[in-house]
Amino acid sequence: MLDELRARLLDAAEDDWVYFAEIESMILEIDGASDDLLRQAGEAAVQFVREGVIIPGTLTEAEGFVPWFTSPAESADRVRQEVDVLLRDRIDPRPGQICWFDVPTESPA
């Protein structure tokens, strides 16, 4: 599932920035109904951020996508913490919540 998700995510991110909740939709399309979409999306996002496949950031009106100025490991930890809060509080992420993703300008080594 992760390979197909990675391919879909990168394809989507080539066209436009991707918000976190879109990963849940991609997983749903790949695997069908799931009771733990948020957990799965969180785990996948953390892995992809840690690997440098995608870069998390914030979207602003003035500057567009602004990447987080943290290492991949720190960014992955931040995503994990945000997902854990939503899981604890049983809240589904809204568009733009947690973060937005872009592809790196250079491929990860």
- Give the rounded percent of residues in the chain with a pLDDT score beyond 90: 88
- Give the rounded percent of residues in the chain with a pLDDT score beyond 70: 96
The domain limits of the chain are 2-102
- The whole-angstrom distance between residue 54's C-alpha and the CA centroid of its chain comes to 8
Q: What is the mean pLDDT of residues 54-62?
A: 96
> Does residue 107 surpass a pLDDT of 60?
no
> Does residue 108 surpass a pLDDT of 80?
no
Say what the pTM is.
0.91
